Each structure stands twice: as C-alpha cells, then as structure tokens.
Structure 1
Amino acid sequence: MNLDALRAELQTYYREHSYQQLGEWDYQDPLCRRMDEYAAAHPEASPVQLKAAQYEILAEGFQPVLFRNSPLFSEMGVKVAEYDGVPGLGAGGWLYLRNEHLFYDADPRAREQYLAAGSEGLHLRWTYADYDHHCFPFSNVVEHGLEYFYRQAETELERCATEEETEFVQCALRGLLAVKKIAEKFAAAAAAQLEETSDATQRRFLRMIASTAREVPWRRSGTFCEGLCAMWFLHEVCASIEGLGMSVLGHLDRTLGPLYRADLEAGRLTPEEAYDLLCRFLLHTECKLDLDQPVDQCFNLQEQGDTLILGGCDENGSPVCNEVTFMVLRAHHELGLIYPKLLCRIRQTSPQEYLDAVNRDFLSGRNVIAFLNDDCLLPALVKAGKRVEDARRYVAGGCWETILEGFEHSAGANCYFNLARVLDLSVHESPGLEARTGCPFQRLDGAQDFEAVYRIVMGNVLRALRLMCSRLAEGGRAWPQVNPAPFFSACLADCLHNHRDYTAGGGRYNPHGLPLAGFSVLVDSLLVLRELCFQSGRHTLEELLTAVRDNWEGHEALRVEALTMPHYGDECPESNALARRVLDDIYAGTRDLENERGGPFQLGIYSYRDALYWAQVTRATPDGRRAGDHLSQGLTPSRLRPSAEITATINSAAALDLSQCPANSLLTLSLPLGRITVETLGHLERAFAASGIGMLQMNCIDQAQLLDACEHPERHRDLIVRVYGYSTRFVNLTKEMQEEFLTRTLFT
C-alpha cells in the first residue's frame, strides 16, 4: 500500500484552495452571482424556494474535482479547503449571508445588548442560531439510500395541509434530486478521465467512482466501499450546498462493520483491501490543513472540527467493537494522523483489547483520542426525554457536543456561558454594564450570612443565563427564514413526516446546548466565602471583598489562606455537596426555558478556547485567582490548587448529578508520561466510566520534554498535545497557548 501519491494529490489541491490562497473572508465563489441573478428574477420566491434554487444552481454549475488515487468522490470546488460548511467561505452559505439580517432586524437593541454581553465575557457573541457542528444522518442514508426519502417525500406531499408545508416538501424533493445529479456528474467525470491516464491504480479508482457514484447514495450502500464513499460524499456535499458546518464523519464501526463482514463472507473484499480503502478515507480530512505551520498562521488556529466515533453500542444495545474499530485505530496510528479527531465510546464493561489498543497509542506520545462515557451519557440523554434506542446512536460533534445521529441537531456550540465572569460581576463594580447588556448584577456587599451570598450569586447566574437563552430563542426563531435546509432535513428523522424543516423544529428532538464554563471558579469562590467569612469568622466579608477588588495586591497572606480552603476536587463531602447544589440549582432554574425550535435547553459543562480568552476579561475572584489567571476546562479543578490525585478529582466530579448534563460534561487530565502503563490507563478509564462523567480528554506528557520544546522546537516536531477539544503539535502553538498548557495540573 502506497499512499504518497494520494497525499501529494490532496495536499496540492487543498494548498491551492486554502483560506489564505483564496482571499480569506473576501472569497466568493462565482456561482454566487448566478444565485443573485436568480433571486433578482424571482422576487416572490420564499427562503426555502431560494434554497432549492441554490441546490440546483450548484448541481448544474459545479465542476467535479477528482483525486485519481482515491475511490472517494465529493469535492465540488465551491469552498475553501478548511471550510466545513459554515457560511462565509463557500457557495453553500449564499442564502444564509443574504438573509442573516433577519436574525437582528426584529430587535436591534436586543442584538446590541447580546453582543455587548459577549464582549464582556459573559457568553459567546456568536449568531443566535448554531449553524456549525452538525452531523449528517449517515445511518439513515447508508441503510436506505436517498431514493427512500424521495419516495417518502412524494407520499407526504399529498398530506400537506398548508402552503408552507407544501413548499418545504417540494423543496426537499428538489434538493434530493440535486444531490443525485451531483453524484452522477462525478460518475461521468470519472468515466471521462479514464481516457486521460494509463496508471493502473488511478484507472482502478476511476472505474470504482464511475460505477459507485451512478448508484450511491441514491440507493442504499451494499458494500463496505460503497458505505465509505456514501459517508464521505454526504459529509462533504452537504457542507458544500447547505451553509451548515458538518463536523462528524460518523460512527464508523457501527455503520460499516456489518458491511465489512458481509463483504468478507461473500469474498468481495479482503482485509488488506479494506484497510487500504480506510486509509484513503482517513487521509482526506488531514490533508485539508497545513499542520506544519504555526497555528496563528492557519485558519481557526489549525482546528478542523471533524470527529470520528468508535465503540459504544448499536440501537439494540449490542456492543460495537469489531474489525473496523481496530482498523481505524491502526490506520490513524500508522499514518501518524491528527485528524479526524477520534472519539472512543466506552463503558465499564468495554473489551480490554479495545482499551489496550487505544492506550498503546497514548503511550506512543500521540494525544489524539478522547473518551465518551456511555454509562453517563445514555442515561442523561434518556432523562432528557429521548428514546433509549435513539440515544444509543449518539455521537459528538466538533469537540464534545452530543448529537443523536439521524434524529437531531443539538446546537451546542454557539452559547458557552462564563460562570466565572458572573462571580466577578458579583464582586466588582462595572459602571454602565447594565445599560450595555440589559442585565443587572447585584453585588455581595452587605450580605449577612452565607445563604444571602449564595442567593445573590446564584440569582446573578440565573438572571444572566436566562437572559442569554431568551435572546437566543427570540432571535433564533428567524432561522427558517434565514437558512432553511430541506435536503438535510429530508434525511433527518421526522422532518418529512412533520412537513417542517429542522430549523423550524421538524426533527424528532430539538435541543439547544447550554454549556457552562468556569465551574470550579464559582464553586471554589463560594467555598472560600463560606469558610473564611461565615463558618470560621476569621475575616469579614468586607475584608475579603476588598482584597479581591485590589487584585489581591497587598493581601498576600489572605490570598494564601484562601488557597488553602476546601475546594472542588478535594473529595471533601462539604465541597462535593456545595458543587452538587450549584449544578442542581442551575438545572432547576433552566428547565422551563424553550429554545428557538420549541425544544429544551440542555446543560453541559465544557469550554473551548474561551478558557484562555475569557481569563483575560475575568477579574480577580474570591478563590484566589488574580485578574487574567487561566480558567480550568469543564469539570477539571482549579490549577491554583496543589497537584491533585486523580482519584479525588474523579470522585469529586462523580458527586455531581451529571445526568443533568445531556449536552456533555468534560474532564481534562494531564498525566506523567513514563510513569503510566497501558494497564494503569485501562484502570483509569474504567474508573472514569463508573464515575458518571460524560467525557475524558487526556494528555500523557513529559513536562521536561515540553519545556525543552519551547526552547528547541526543531527537536520536537512530532510532539502532539490535546488542547481545547482538538490536538495539534505543541511547537506550533502560540507562546500564550504553550504557557496555558504548561500551567495545567499534572495529576498523579
């Protein structure tokens, strides 16, 4: 097996079509002009009709790009290389960009206040609707084919009761036919290119494309190769035509394992041939990025959101761990890949050989795999009102947001909320902030006991949280008018039956994630306030608030005292009880909220690079943080405390009722490479599975090696670390990101 030709072919094309080469945010595909002309000629067209026209113009006008050393087909040449589908960097975002103003026109003042709150570090200042981190309904199409949904749409068309319902189903039909045409154009292009090459390998792959693309994904996938081709095609083409971020490559071993086994039994495929196909599939994502460059010279700091899920179980609850599982792990390791991100579903009873295969990869110095906990997330998803058989199809998109593949878009990436900043605003004066954000914050001054402190802080948390959610819900209701997606919706369970686009709540489930950041800062600050000012009485509330407002300058002895107080992560019953109370109260205080699509907001505890950026705007807090000190990610305890034992950290997180966090709950750990074995990691992962935590993100590192890499980067080009939901080469990080990584607690 020689993949050099494919790697070179992919890299050449994607370097020429990179974000920088195509003009960054000034890029506009020429087909957008045709869409402008269509809209001008059809002023009466509704948004969903314009979207159907967008599909058809793209299907008619694109020129297939074929990589002759791969059997995969998908590249339409209408977007920048790194683009996953979000609007702005490809022709698929045309309708969204045309209509984006509708989100804000109804209430410009609310929009100004929402953006101001984002600038203040209270939450993200993204758009009201989460157009990123989608998962295509792969299983539905691999199992049934697009023709199945076309026939269903024809039937549903007769049941439509309103003009709006009829328009949606008609446009779904147009979208399905447009995608059929796109595949057929790839087949025709491959047949034509057969005359242009005498290379035996290239001719074999071109014949495979010519044969497969005529049939798949219009009909169901009948072989392992067809399944791979269908999944890659649907992922990339949906990103190219919908203006939606496609950030999941699928649950590969669950979806393709049965096809692989059937191929072997029928003699259609050998294990070696399957492995070659799989390697070519995996190479495509990584080659879109130039991973040799510093992150600050790359699009999105070198993060590419594609995740690939392994392990877990199928819809019936049967364990998934098969030949495809191990082929993916082997290929990812042998090819030295960073992307796609591997997310391994585990449980307490996961096969030892599965954990061992993953852990050998960790101990080789590659920190590229994270773990999803079925024993936590399945009960949490069912508690959130989802059928157990549907919940078993969960994946995680982008970094960690759970998505029920084929049943929902979970909207978990556009509204991270900063608990630490709320604590800050409960202490410090912020003149004009209420007018700018529309959200008042009560100060702690004058609180007579800890319960008064707790009421003030949690009142501020829930007031700001509920205001953010109401702005998202009210503004986000314009989503069906901004960028309906009838093709994507046609493949998503229940949208055709409900005659509604997924943006209008047509999916089976319609949650909106509500991720919380700064959890340890909030809990630790409350613990310090309770112990120092009320339980022990060693200091008055006024003394402590003065020290915090002075950024602890001139109050070092008091700061040292604060840092020795009970804290989240110390496994102490009192600390655990308060942490649980905080989460329980946030959960209870958000259950009545309805999102933009009529579904619930579902809690999560995780954060992205905001753990780095929000630290810069979050002032000193009672836990001993100074202004600008880094925040910890998700459920990870504060890095201000002494190095902690893993057991205490896991047990503290386990004391929380994380079934209240169906969006996910993240624990990030750094472990000392050299003192950890495959067996040790296996024990840790089973303890994690038993803990009730949703996700584990680990690094096995050598601190001395990292420090040497800062001074001599040329010696450590292959040193890979997991940072904020993705992995990259340590030497490519900015100095600020390296420093943040080095200050993380090294657990023992």
Structure 2
Amino acid sequence: MTENIEKMRQFFVVDKGQKAMWQEPEDPYILAEQFAAEQIPDVDRAARRLIYVLDKEEPVLFEGERIAFTRTVTTIPEIFTEEEMRDLKKTHWIHEKGDVCNISVDYTKLLNQGFYAKKTELEALREEFFQRGEREKAHYLQLQIDILDHVLSLASRYQKLAEQRGNEVVAKTLLSVPAHAPQSFLEALSMFRIIHFTMWCGRNYHNTVGRFDQYIYPYLKADLDKGIHTKESALELLEEFFLTFNRDSDLYPGMQQGDNGQSLVLGGLNEDGTDSYNLLSELCLKASLELKVIDPKINLRVHEKTPLDTYILGTQLTKQGLGFPQYSNDDVVIPGLMELGYEKKDAYRYVVAACWEFIIPGTAMDIPNIEALSFTKAVSDAVMEKLEQCRSYEKFEEAVRNKINSQVEALCKQVNGVYLYPAPFLSLMMEGCCEKGIDVSLGCKYNNYGFHGTGIATAADSMAAVKKFVYEEKSTDALSLVKALKNDFESDELLCNRLRYESPKMGNDNDYVDGIAVRLLNIFADSLKGRSNDRGGIYRAGTGSAMYYIRHAENLPATPDGRRKGEGFGANYSPSLFSRCRGPVSIIQSFTKPDLKRVINGGPLTLELHDTVFRTEESCAKVAVLVKSFMDLGGHQLQLNSVNRDTMLEAQKHPENYKNLIVRVWGWSGYFVELDKEYQDHIIQRMELMLAV
C-alpha cells in the first residue's frame, strides 16, 4: 500500500473524515406529501426523487483523490406517504423496503456508450413510441433522459470544483466521463463510481458490482499495453477505487452495519470452458489483501481446473480476518441454474447477489431472498402435533414432509402480489427495459423468487434423535419427549444432555443423520418444483439463512437435538451450534452428500477457523486444500471465518480498541463492534465450534 493510499484509508475508513461534509437530515416525507397532493404516478415520483437528490448533492473533493463523487445528502426521501403505504400493503406484498434491490445490472450498457450516446438512443426510441401513440412509454424514456441530464449536471459541477481546486486529474476525467464512453482504466473506474453513486441516490440498495474483472479488464489491458500503467500503478489506482465503496457505506441501508450488498465477483468459467480469471482478478485480491476493508466483498468463482495457487491467494485474504473471499463452485452452480431454466449463456455469466444468492446480471429481476423456510419449525411442529400418533419413524418423517409442504404453500401465498418501486435509472442497464419502455420493477427476462432454508442441521439432528431414542432404542417415548420439549427440559436435564451430546450430529460424516438432511433438502426442492409465481417466474430453494438463524429460532420451542428454546441455529448451511464435529474434513464430507444443484438459490457452508490455523504458509496451504476439497466433492459455496473468541470477548468489553475487527456475519463481512449484541453473541457462540485443520 502506497503512502497516499494509506492516508486515504485512514481518512475515509478509520477517521471517517467525509462525514464532516454530510448535510443535515431532512423530513423523509418532504416529497411524498407533494407527490400525493399532485396524484402523480409512481414512476414519476421515483424519477423526481432521484433528480431531487442529485440536484441537492454538493460536490466535494478530498486531498489526493483521483476518483470523485462522495455522498453529502443523508436523507433519501420517501415517494409515498405513510397512508399511501398502508393502502399499498393491503393489496400487495412489499419486499423489504419496497425498492428494487439485490440484483446485478449490466454496467456495460452505460460504460460502453457514455451518457450522450445513451440519450441519443433513448430519444430515438421515445420518438418511435410517440409516433405509435404509446405515450406512457415515451414519457418513461423522457424521465430517463431527464435523469441522465441531472447526473451530467452534477458531474459538471464536480468538474468545475476540480478545476478551482487545481485537481487536474479529476477535472480532465470528468470532461470525458460520464458524457462519453471511457477511454482509460481511470475513466472506466470513475464512470463506474458515478453510476454506482447514482443508483444509491435513487434508493436502490444492495447494488452489486457483478463480474468486475470481466467488464473492466479491457481498459486495464489497454493502459498496460500503452505503457500508461504498470501493474504497481494500476494496483494503487484500484485500491483508491476500492476505498470509494467505503466512503458512503455508513449511509446505506441494511439489516446491520456492513450489510450493504457491495458484492464483487472474480473469475469463473467461460461458456467455451476456458477460465476467465485474469490479471485484474489477481489485482483485486491483492488490493483487498492490502486494504483490509469490508468493501467490496470478494466472491471467487472456482471450478475443477482452478489452480491451487488461486485458492492459496484467497486463503491469504481469509487469514486477515476479512471473512472473504466467498467461494462459488461453477461445476455445481452452472448446471443447477440451467436445470432451473436459465439459458446456458446466462448461467455461465452468473454473479453473487448481496450475500450468496446466484443471479444473472442485466437480465434477472429475481428476488432471491423473498422469504425463508424453517426446516426446524417443520420438525418441531411435526413433533409437537404428530409424534405421538406416528407408529414408525417413517410415518414421522412423512409428517415432517407434510409440514414442509404446508410451510411452502403458505410462503408462496404470502409473497403473492409483489410491488416494487420503479427504478428508472437502474432500468437503463437491464435487458429490454428501454426498448420496451418498461421499468425493471415490472419484470425482466427472469423473474424468479428464492426461499432460504434455515436450520437444516438442527432439523436433521432432531430427526436423528427421534429416530434413535424414540423408535430404535425406545429409551424415551413420544409423550415424555414432547413434555420435556414443552417444558424446555426444565426438570429433565439428563435427557437434554443425552439429546445434545449422545445423539448423531450432522458434520461427522455419519449417514445416519446426513441421509436425513439429504431427504429434507430434496423435499424442499420437490415442494417448489412446478410452481409459478405471480410474475411468471419459478421458486428456487436455497441453503442460506440470512438473519433467520436468529429470527426463526428466537420463539421456537426446544427441539429434540437438545437445543433449548430461543437458542439459535447454525449460520447458513452449517453444523448446529453445539455439534461436536471430528473436524473440517468430516464436515465437508457431511455437507456435500446432498445434490446441491437442487438447492441452488445459494447459501454457503460456513466454517469458523481459529486464527492460529493460519500462522504458517504450510497451514494456509492446508486450508486452501480444504476449500478445494469441498468443491471437488460437489460443494456449491463456502465461506470461512478466521477469528479469535478471546479477541471478540475483549472487543465487547472495549470496543474502542477493536474498531477494525472484521467478522463474517451471514453472507457479508462487517466490523464486529458495529453489530448488535445478539449477532456478536451468536458469532462468539459459533467460535466454540472452532476447528483446527
């Protein structure tokens, strides 16, 4: 890291000096009341809101920066009043905040043209719609043109400020982009920054970066060939670019600080079978390694032919305690997506959404995190309501199947009638939207919904315990077990300990329990097969948990695996919190037995490794081999945490001393001391399952 980058990191990430330029918050309904009074359509509201924010932005420049645009507006106003929202919710399912989010746009649709050329294209399309009498579509394109004009206006104000401040680099860059297509690595990075900045200003969030090393690499290569950059100077510029993801992130919405969806994907197979990993892929890993910041969040696409050296470089990142890269296995993901109906060319271009969900850039208005099924609730309900009537274990498993099917049925009905706020700027980068004069919020080529699947290990462990103790050993009966669970083991500590520590647990390469998990995941996939959502898409089953590993558990009664009421599940696709696993090898053997192509919405195996595991090059190489082994065995996705439990306990006591402590939360990395205590405690509890390699 150069001295200049080190100074910028200190200013933006540690000292957060940019906050001094923030404007005072304003009434979030400042526009909504006006819009309601005028009774203007939702798409006009979305466009006018974005224009309002862009015009309100005040250009700011900081010492030494070459890539401009920093947020000063702290409030993105609502477009509907509270009363209007209440009415909307009566007839529609509002996903999260209602905004288009957690998708991946095709940045090349603007990068390859520049805004002037895009405006010319839109004007021609607008005229065609107008001539055909399709005035609404013509009006929509005019709104997009207006937005581009206001982004250009803000860029012009930045350019003039750069001239006044004597920042020749920014001044020259902004004379070219975003008006014109970039002609250099710096211009491409600057234009991306402007596009990304604008998306956030429109209140679109979880704005993923996509296959950055593919669409930006040509600019880097051209500069290297011309001698404009060396690898070292390109790395320095890339590191400055990475810091831009951390400038405004305190203003971004999310479940927790750090949950902002700035997910970047590297490498992966091309459709012809060649590997797309290139020099920019490597520089991105090195930049992240040197900077040690939580954004952008690195995802690495790997496959059968990925060399061990790539895994080793990824392991060096994990060693720093960043919680990434997250690994995705092309050999499982691509055929899994194709089996769900994604075209081959699109499946090969897949990226990772905000956390882990697999999505297609530029063509998918998928909502891959629309809801979540709780495997453990299905098992718990079957135990409480049906166990006493089940004369055999097979009958009990059938009761669990019925509970999963019922839960899926309810979830599909629950998410019917989705309404999303229009996203006219984002729609400029989605296939067919401009040509059809339709906002992406109304749909795109793919319109699929994804359900997470939570508590798989707790569910499988619980069913294994029922099978062993109730049906085989008969050391307890259904009535006694149900009574103990209802009383949270209050007067039956002995049974609790037997269930918790003497029952088979997933993660030990034991087919007795692993086979149950295989069947549970197949039941989940089967229950969604053939169903269509109200947008003409399908439903995808997944193995992720997001925040549901706490939400789904907090009010759930005690379960037959020995878990007490309120205790959490393992994060994502992982052993339960009190499993005594033999080691990481047995875990990956257990968790690769299911056909993970069937649950390809995403959701990584999450392993917690003690930071001492990474102390030598040899031990780092062992971790890399472990990751590769998971992929070779048919694993779909993996993330690793390198943390020290004692360090986290100290951070809870003295947060001021641990501002840079980074952990993997569920599908994203965040600063430990900025998390709510319930998430801190869960991560600490996960550490009790720490593994040695």
> Do Structure 1 and Structure 2 share a fold, with TM-score over 0.5?
yes
SS at match of 1:566: coil
Deviation at 1:714, TM superposition (A): 6.8
Deviation at 1:584, TM superposition (A): 1.1
Deviation at 1:447, TM superposition (A): 2.1
Contiguous gaps of at least 5 residues in structure 2: none
Deviation at 1:699, TM superposition (A): 1.6
Deviation at 1:709, TM superposition (A): 5.2
Q: Output one character per residue of 1:392-438: Cα deviation in whole Å (capped at 9) or x when no partner.
A: 2222222212221111133123423333233333445xxxxxxxxxx
Q: Does 1:561 align with 2:561?
A: no
Asked if structure 2 preserves the Cα contact closer than 8 Å seen for 1:68 and 1:206, the reply is no
Q: 1:39 to 1:558 in 2, by over 3 A?
A: closer
Deviation at 1:701, TM superposition (A): 3.4
Q: Does 1:726 align with 2:663?
A: no
Partners of 2:184 and 2:559 in 1: CA distance = 58
Select the residue among 392, 396, 410 that pairs with 1:467.
Answer: 410
* 1:432 paired residue number: none
Contiguous gaps of at least 5 residues in structure 1: 81-88, 112-124, 292-297, 429-441
SS at match of 1:104: helix
Partners of 1:576 and 1:164 in 2: CA distance = 61
Q: Give the residue type in structure 1 aligned to 2:352.
A: A
Q: Does 1:47 align with 2:42?
A: yes
Asked if structure 2 preserves the Cα contact closer than 8 Å seen for 1:377 and 1:659, the reply is yes
Select the residue among 90, 108, 115 that pairs with 1:139.
Answer: 108
Asked if structure 2 preserves the Cα contact closer than 8 Å seen for 1:263 and 1:269, the reply is yes
Partners of 2:594 and 2:430 in 1: CA distance = 33
Asked if structure 2 preserves the Cα contact closer than 8 Å seen for 1:571 and 1:648, the reply is yes
Q: Please show how residues 184-263 of structure 1 align to structure 2 within 5 Å.
A: 184-195=153-164, 197-198=165-166, 203-213=167-177, 216=178, 218-241=179-202, 243-263=203-223
Select the residue among 121, 130, 136 that pairs with 1:167.
Answer: 136
* 1:266 paired residue number: 226
Partners of 1:591 and 1:396 in 2: CA distance = 23
Q: Give the residue type in structure 2 aligned to 1:747.
A: L
Partners of 1:288 and 1:161 in 2: CA distance = 40
Partners of 1:737 and 1:448 in 2: CA distance = 41
Q: 1:96 to 1:494 in 2, by over 3 A?
A: farther
Q: Output one character per residue of 1:654-713: Cα deviation in whole Å (capped at 9) or x when no partner.
A: 111111122213111012333452210221121121233322111233445555655666
* 1:586 paired residue number: 524
Asked if structure 2 preserves the Cα contact closer than 8 Å seen for 1:248 and 1:308, the reply is yes
Asked if structure 2 preserves the Cα contact closer than 8 Å seen for 1:76 and 1:237, the reply is no
* 1:340 paired residue number: 296
Asked if structure 2 preserves the Cα contact closer than 8 Å seen for 1:344 and 1:372, the reply is yes
* 2:313 paired residue number: 357
Q: Output one character per residue of 1:150-207: Cα deviation in whole Å (capped at 9) or x when no partner.
A: 5555565577699996524531342144224313431343224423x35xxxx22332
Q: Please show how residues 672-711 of structure 1 align to structure 2 within 5 Å.
A: 672-676=610-614, 677-706=619-648
Select the residue among 455, 458, 479 that pairs with 2:401.
Answer: 458
* 1:396 paired residue number: 352
Count of aligned pairs: 679
Q: Give the residue type in structure 1 aligned to 2:340.
A: A
* 2:91 paired residue number: 106
Select the residue among 634, 649, 654 that pairs with 2:572.
Answer: 634
Asked if structure 2 preserves the Cα contact closer than 8 Å seen for 1:503 and 1:597, the reply is no
Partners of 1:501 and 1:170 in 2: CA distance = 12
Asked if structure 1 preserves the Cα contact closer than 8 Å seen for 2:35 and 2:80, the reply is no
Partners of 2:281 and 2:233 in 1: CA distance = 16
TM-score where L is the length of structure 2: 0.88
Q: 1:502 to 1:731 in 2, by over 3 A?
A: closer
Select the residue among 64, 71, 86 that pairs with 2:66.
Answer: 71
Q: Please show how residues 299-338 of structure 1 align to structure 2 within 5 Å.
A: 300-314=256-270, 317-338=273-294
* 1:3 paired residue number: 5
Q: Please show how residues 472-483 of structure 1 align to structure 2 within 5 Å.
A: 472-474=415-417, 476=418, 478-479=419-420, 483=421
* 1:417 paired residue number: 373
Q: 1:672 to 1:273 in 2, by over 3 A?
A: closer
* 1:90 paired residue number: 76
Asked if structure 1 preserves the Cα contact closer than 8 Å seen for 2:36 and 2:81, the reply is no
Q: Give the residue type in structure 2 aligned to 1:90.
A: I
SS at match of 1:473: coil
Select the residue among 564, 567, 570 that pairs with 2:508.
Answer: 570
Partners of 1:510 and 1:37 in 2: CA distance = 33
SS at match of 1:310: strand
Deviation at 1:134, TM superposition (A): 3.0
Asked if structure 2 preserves the Cα contact closer than 8 Å seen for 1:248 and 1:306, the reply is yes
Partners of 1:681 and 1:6 in 2: CA distance = 32
Deviation at 1:366, TM superposition (A): 4.2
Partners of 1:467 and 1:299 in 2: CA distance = 24
Q: Does 1:514 align with 2:431?
A: no
Moved more, 5-14 or 227-236: 5-14
* 1:15 paired residue number: 19
TM-score where L is the length of structure 1: 0.82
Partners of 1:530 and 1:510 in 2: CA distance = 40
Partners of 2:628 and 2:208 in 1: CA distance = 26
Q: Give the residue type in structure 2 aligned to 1:682.
A: A
Asked if structure 2 preserves the Cα contact closer than 8 Å seen for 1:316 and 1:389, the reply is no
Q: Output one character per residue of 1:36-85: Cα deviation in whole Å (capped at 9) or x when no partner.
A: 546644x3x4322443444454555544444463333444643x3xxxxx
* 1:183 paired residue number: 152
Q: Does 1:503 align with 2:446?
A: no
Q: Output one character per residue of 1:315-356: Cα deviation in whole Å (capped at 9) or x when no partner.
A: 655323222222222222222322222222222322333222
Partners of 1:267 and 1:95 in 2: CA distance = 52
Q: 1:700 to 1:55 in 2, by over 3 A?
A: closer
Q: Output one character per residue of 1:102-138: Cα deviation in whole Å (capped at 9) or x when no partner.
A: 532337xxx8xxxxxxxxxxxxx96495643233321
SS at match of 2:635: coil
* 1:434 paired residue number: none
SS at match of 1:372: strand
Asked if structure 1 preserves the Cα contact closer than 8 Å seen for 2:102 and 2:205, the reply is yes
Asked if structure 1 preserves the Cα contact closer than 8 Å seen for 2:334 and 2:347, the reply is yes
Partners of 1:484 and 1:181 in 2: CA distance = 18
Q: Give the residue type in structure 1 aligned to 2:172.
A: M
Partners of 2:428 and 2:655 in 1: CA distance = 49
* 1:659 paired residue number: 597
Deviation at 1:503, TM superposition (A): 2.0
Partners of 1:22 and 1:448 in 2: CA distance = 66
Identity %: 22
Partners of 2:328 and 2:451 in 1: CA distance = 18
Select the residue among 662, 665, 668 that pairs with 2:606.
Answer: 668
Q: Give the residue type in structure 2 aligned to 1:454.
A: E
Asked if structure 1 preserves the Cα contact closer than 8 Å seen for 2:662 and 2:669, the reply is yes
Q: 1:528 to 1:299 in 2, by over 3 A?
A: closer
Partners of 1:22 and 1:566 in 2: CA distance = 57
Moved more, 305-314 or 139-148: 139-148
Partners of 1:22 and 1:461 in 2: CA distance = 49
Q: 1:528 to 1:424 in 2, by over 3 A?
A: same
Q: Give the residue type in structure 2 aligned to 1:28.
A: D
Partners of 1:134 and 1:105 in 2: CA distance = 26
Asked if structure 1 preserves the Cα contact closer than 8 Å seen for 2:322 and 2:669, the reply is no
Partners of 1:128 and 1:720 in 2: CA distance = 27
Q: 1:631 to 1:464 in 2, by over 3 A?
A: same
* 1:612 paired residue number: 550
